[in-house]
Amino acid sequence: MTIKQNFLLLIAGIAVVAGCKQNSKTEQIDKSISADEIKSQIAVLAADSLMGRKPFTAGENKAIAYISSQFKKAGLEPGNNGTYFQDVPMVEITSKPSATMQITGGKTPISFTADSDFVASTRQEVLGVELKKSPLVFAGYGVVAPEYGWNDYAGLDVKGKTVIVLVNDPGYKNGNPAFFKGDTMTYYGRWTYKYEEAARQGAAGVIIVHQTDPASYGWKVVQNSFTGAKLYLTEKDKHMSRCKVEGWITEAAATKLLADAGITGDIRSIARKKGFKAIPLNREISLGVTTKLKYSTSHNVIGIIKGSARPEETILYTAHWDHLGVGKPDAKGDSIYNGAVDNASGVAAIIAVAKAFKASKEKPQRSVVFLAVTGEEQGLLGSEYYATHPIFPLNKTVADLNMDALGDYGSTKDIAITGKGQNELEDYVEEIAKAEGLTTVGDRKPGSGSYYRSDHFNFAKLGVPALDINNGSISVANGADFGEKRQKDYNENRYHQQQDNYSDRMDVTGMMQVAGIMYQIGTKLSNETTFPGWKPGSEFKAVRDKSMGK
Alpha carbons 290 and 96: distance in angstroms, whole number: 5
Q: What is the pLDDT of residues 98-110, one digit of tens each?
A: 999 999 999 999 9
Alpha carbons 414 and 440: distance in angstroms, whole number: 5
Q: How confident is the model over 2-14, as a mean pLDDT? A: 42
Lowest mean pLDDT among 1-15, 223-237, 283-297, 342-356: 1-15
User: b/e string for 40-78 if b means 16 or more Cβ within 10 A?
Assistant: bbbbbbbbbebbbbbbbbebbbbbbbbbbbbbeebebeb
CA 187, 258, 243 angle in degrees (round to 5)?
45
What angle do helix axes 345-359 and 58-73 make, rounded to 10 degrees? 20
pLDDT of residue 30: 52
Alpha carbons 383 and 373: distance in angstroms, whole number: 6
Q: Are 250 and 114 in contact (CB under 8 A)?
A: no
How far does Cα 501 stand from its chain's mean position? 19
Element (H, E) at 455: none
Contacts with 205 (C-beta within 8 Å, 6 or more apart), sequence order: 131, 134, 161, 162, 163, 198, 243, 244, 245, 246, 247, 285, 287
DSSP state of 37: H
Q: Which spans in 216-322 are helix H? A: 219-225, 251-260, 267-271
pLDDT of residue 26: 34
Residues in the chain, overall count = 550
Contacts with 42 (C-beta within 8 Å, 6 or more apart), sequence order: 340, 344, 345, 348, 502, 506, 508
Alpha carbons 195 and 44: distance in angstroms, whole number: 36
The model's pTM is: 0.83
Lowest mean pLDDT among 27-41, 209-223, 409-423, 513-527: 27-41
Q: Give the Å distances, CA to CA, from 217 to 312, 447, 450, 454, 487.
A: 41, 11, 12, 15, 13
Q: How many CA atoms lie within 13 A of 447 on its CB side?
A: 19
Q: What is the pLDDT of residues 155-192, one digit of tens each?
A: 999 999 999 999 999 999 999 988 998 998 998 999 99
pLDDT of residue 20: 39
**Cross-strand bridge partners of residue 89:** 297
108-111 contacts at long range (C-beta below 8 A, 24 or more positions apart)? 110/256, 110/257, 110/260
Task: Kindly tell me if the per-residue pLDDT of 6 is higher than 80.
Answer: no
Element (H, E) at 67: helix 58-73
Percentage of the chain beyond pLDDT 90 is 87
Q: What is the pLDDT of residues 452-476, one digit of tens each?
A: 999 999 999 999 999 999 999 999 9
Q: What is the pLDDT of residues 479-495, one digit of tens each?
A: 999 999 999 999 999 99
Q: Are 183 and 447 in contact (CB under 8 A)?
A: yes
Q: What is the pLDDT of residues 369-389, one digit of tens each?
A: 999 999 999 999 999 999 999
**Cross-strand bridge partners of residue 476:** none
Per-residue confidence band for 22, with pLDDT thresholds at 50, 70 and 90: very low
pLDDT of residue 31: 65
CA 144, 145, 151 angle in degrees (round to 5)?
45
Q: Which spans in 145-250 are helix H? A: 191-200, 212-215, 219-225
Contacts with 61 (C-beta within 8 Å, 6 or more apart), sequence order: 1, 3, 6
**Cross-strand bridge partners of residue 402:** 318, 468
Alpha carbons 113 and 289: distance in angstroms, whole number: 14
Backbone region of residue 541 per phi and psi (left: phi > 0; alpha: psi in -120 to 50; beta: other values): alpha
Q: Which amino acid is at 140?
A: G
pLDDT of residue 550: 79
Structure-derived torsion over alpha carbons of residues 257, 258, 264, 269, reported in degrees to the nearest 10: -130
What angle do helix axes 3-19 and 58-73 make, rounded to 10 degrees? 70
